[in-house]
């Protein structure tokens, strides 16, 4: 019997791979699903920088779902749509973060045969508020036409953050020189639950885990391609068959998963909360660029401020300045006690039989579920689907 996961390096031979973040494998699988009259669900981004999940039914729409978006996605009521399509007997491909995928599994009470689940090697998710603020700063009133976090015009390894404006202007910087990408990589503004992520590891409940094959020039130099190479973890027979179905349009090679972990540790390791996380959010009201530069390139006054902040942080390291607790009482269950206990997957919103759970933005710009306790019947459906698996509140 085959041992799973099987780890592959792979890339599409289609010219449209240049539009993907790495090897373009998601697009190839999506095409086959649509050829089978199936539905593809993934994240897209609008011109204000909001990322949200939607479903598509045509190949022309696949481009909307391609590419990395370094902002937390609003899942909305997509889980309900997935359930409806599955009931109709349609094949559904769902791609999302590991916690979103687990939220869908819990919502569906399992993994139907017609469902293809893809997650990816996730570093963590920033909030829409941070990214939208940053966009406004760099755009200076110009209308945005398209946002690309991973433009590969200079090659996959030297990708750029790029914003194209409707007036023809372009903002473009290599990722290592871009303040937003620096803050993301250094972990200034990830969601609190990302620093306590329970969905790491090479063994997952999804069918396929995707990621970039960073370090390929060292580990597999003969397989390197400047337009991007993906790494795939196939977790079961379904995944293996999916790759077999697209073998005529991809190039692939089996590799040792340790080659991946060495250069992409987010596969197995949780991002570490930066000591300046809270300081960033306290100073962000004056601008994202200014907040980031005040930490990584501080002037004399900021150096003093940063030193004082570090000292205070070490004294109160077990307390966050942004950790209010859910005060829901009575028969309504407690959805989370602290913010690192909620990944914002929207499973509870989708499953509530009364439709009385909504998402509310906090000071950092992350969305958290809130129950209308006056209408709650105490069924605990929301707790049962939570991927972080909070214990049921007993009254």
pLDDT score recorded for residue 56: 98
The pLDDT assigned to 331 comes to: 79
What pLDDT shows up at residue 395?
A: 32
Check: CB of residue 264 under 8 Å from CB of residue 215.
Answer: yes
Main-chain phi, psi angles of 234, to 5 degrees: -95, 120
pLDDT along the chain (395 residues), means of 10: 90 94 97 98 97 98 96 98 98 98 97 97 97 97 97 95 98 97 96 96 97 96 96 98 97 97 97 95 94 96 94 69 50 89 97 96 96 94 87 36
Distances (CA, A) of 257 to 12, 96, 263: 20, 21, 11
The whole-number pLDDT of residue 313 equals 82
pLDDT at 190: 97
Contact 224, 136 (CB under 8 A): no
Are residues 112 and 207 in contact, defined by beta-carbon separation less than 8 angstroms? no
CA distances from 189 to 126, 277, 287, 316 (A): 6, 6, 14, 19
Q: How high is the pLDDT of residue 340?
A: 93
Instruction: Output the pLDDT for position 315.
Output: 77
Map out the domains of the chain with their CATH numbers: 6-126+190-267 (3.40.640), 275-321 (no CATH), 322-395 (3.30.70)
Selection from 67, 49, 51 nearest residue 137 by Cα? 49
């Amino acid at each position: 019997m085959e041992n799973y996961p099987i780890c592959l390096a792979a890339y599409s031979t289609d010219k449209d791979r240049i539009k993907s973040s790495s090897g373009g494998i998601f697009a190839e699988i999506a095409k086959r699903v649509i050829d089978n009259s199936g539905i593809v669900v993934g994240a897209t981004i609008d011109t204000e920088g909001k990322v949200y999940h939607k479903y598509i039914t045509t190949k022309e729409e696949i481009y909307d779902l391609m590419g990395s978006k370094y902002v937390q996605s609003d899942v909305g009521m997509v889980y309900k749509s997935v359930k409806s399509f599955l009931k109709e007997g349609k094949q559904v491909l769902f791609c999302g973060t590991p916690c979103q995928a687990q939220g869908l599994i819990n919502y569906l009470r399992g993994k139907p045969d017609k469902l293809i689940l893809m997650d990816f090697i996730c570093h963590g998710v920033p909030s829409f508020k941070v990214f939208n603020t940053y966009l406004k700063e760099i755009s200076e009133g110009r209308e945005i036409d398209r946002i690309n976090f991973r433009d590969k015009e200079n090659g996959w390894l030297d990708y750029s953050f790029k914003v194209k404006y409707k007036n023809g202007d372009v903002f473009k910087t290599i990722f290592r020189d871009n303040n937003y990408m620096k803050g993301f990589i250094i972990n200034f503004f990830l969601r609190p639950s990302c620093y306590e992520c329970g969905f790491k590891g090479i063994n997952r409940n999804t069918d396929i885990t995707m990621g970039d094959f960073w370090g390929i020039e060292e580990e597999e130099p003969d397989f390197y391609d400047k337009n991007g190479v993906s790494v795939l973890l196939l977790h079961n027979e379904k995944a293996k068959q999916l790759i077999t179905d697209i073998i005529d349009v991809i190039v692939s090679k089996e590799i040792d998963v340790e080659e991946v972990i060495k250069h992409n540790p987010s596969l197995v390791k949780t991002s570490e909360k930066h000591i300046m996380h809270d300081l960033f959010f306290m100073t962000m009201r004056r601008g994202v660029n200014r907040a980031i530069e005040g930490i990584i390139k501080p002037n004399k006054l900021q150096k003093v401020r940063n030193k004082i902040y570090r000292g205070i942080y070490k004294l109160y390291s077990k307390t966050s300045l942004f950790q209010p607790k859910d005060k829901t009482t009575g028969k309504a269950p407690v959805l989370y006690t602290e913010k690192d206990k909620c990944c914002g997957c929207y499973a509870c919103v989708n499953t509530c039989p009364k439709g009385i759970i909504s998402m509310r933005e906090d000071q950092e710009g992350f969305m958290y579920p809130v129950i209308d306790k006056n209408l709650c019947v105490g069924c605990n459906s929301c707790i049962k689907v939570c991927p972080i698996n909070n214990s049921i509140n007993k009254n």
